[in-house]
Structure 1
Amino acid sequence: MEMRELVAEDLELVEFARGIVDANTDGEFGVHTMGAAVREADGRMFGGINLYHFLGGPCAELVALGNARASGGREFTTIVAVGNFNRGPVGPCGRDRQILFDYHTGIRVILPTDQGIRSVRITDLMPLAARWDPDTGTQPFDPTP
């Protein structure tokens, strides 16, 4: 797996996503707890925020991708989701990974790893799954079985 340290453009994207969730969160247990940002190949950034629902409302990454597409974006280079209350970048869920893999095979994902926050190719995350639990959420990638 090729993990890259974040560059200035990546940090800008993280801050853009953080700004979205900070401006729109509605509390620790609210429905708007994750912000996301995606970068178009031409440098434009598009954002989104999740809408949690017991039926499985849309994740922030999917909202950001939909916003980007509706705004004319077609070729995406990088995506990140950031939790409210300074939780920082969080890796995409399995559904989001599959959608990114299916539609944007060249995209890089910013997420926590055992080496810190890094960007990885979506193809490196598939078919591997992220461990998730209700107490701590999505965990950093762990290559051990």
Structure 2
Amino acid sequence: MVLAMRELTASDHELIEYARQIVDANTDGDGGVHTMGAAVRGADGRMYGGINLYHFTGGPCAELVALGHARASGARELTTIVAVGNLGRGPVGPCGRDRQVLFDYHPKIRVLLPTDQGVRSVRITDLMPFGGVWTVSEGTQPFDPAVFR
């Protein structure tokens, strides 16, 4: 599978920096519960942030908190998301649960994540090969290759 990667834009670098500032301001160290920051950009250019809430029951990742912040602030169309680790770890790719949520709610979003070519922008659909779309009203739908074009 070949990912449709693209180089980062100035806007992407700004989003990474915003997520880094969030985690740097709120981290509590290696063993802490706040170790990842995330930022998402709305179609209007506004940025929304979040920080993870690690918990043994599976507390929300920073990406999900940022998505909730954006929604609560009125953003409905989101274009780009990134998560950044504390202690200078830089951008980190989303976990499987986050990928599925992004795919279901924002199938056109781009994700900034490390690749073998450095940090790049990738479509969420490229991170979910053969994924089935899920909706509140209809549940999981059969695989539709048109979603991935």
Question: How does the TM-score come out when normalised to structure 2?
Answer: 0.85
Q: Aligned-pair RMSD on alpha carbons?
A: 0.8
1:31 is aligned to 33
1:77 is aligned to 79
2:70 is aligned to 68
CA distance in 2, matches of 1:5, 1:82: 18
Within a 5 Å distance, the mapping from 1:1-145 to structure 2 comes to 1-127=3-129
CA distance in 1, matches of 2:29, 2:7: 31
Q: How many residue pairs align between the two structures? A: 128
Amino acid at match of 2:33: V
Q: CA deviation at 1:103?
A: 0.5
Amino acid at match of 1:108: R
CA distance in 1, matches of 2:84, 2:52: 10
Amino acid at match of 1:96: D
Q: CA deviation at 1:7?
A: 0.6
**Partner of 1:2: helix, strand, or coil?**
coil
CA distance in 2, matches of 1:56, 1:6: 31
| Rg larger for | 2
CA distance in 2, matches of 1:125, 1:119: 11
Q: CA deviation at 1:127?
A: 3.3
CA distance in 2, matches of 1:116, 1:14: 13
Question: Among the aligned pairs, what percent are the same residue?
Answer: 81
Amino acid at match of 1:50: N
Deviation above 6 Å: which 4+ runs of structure 1?
none
Amino acid at match of 1:117: V
**Partner of 2:108: helix, strand, or coil?**
coil
Q: CA deviation at 1:53?
A: 0.5
CA distance in 2, matches of 1:28, 1:75: 34
What residue ranges of structure 1 are gaps of 5+ in the alignment?
Answer: 129-145
**Partner of 1:98: helix, strand, or coil?**
helix
What residue ranges of structure 2 are gaps of 5+ in the alignment?
Answer: 131-149
Amino acid at match of 1:123: T
1:138 is aligned to none
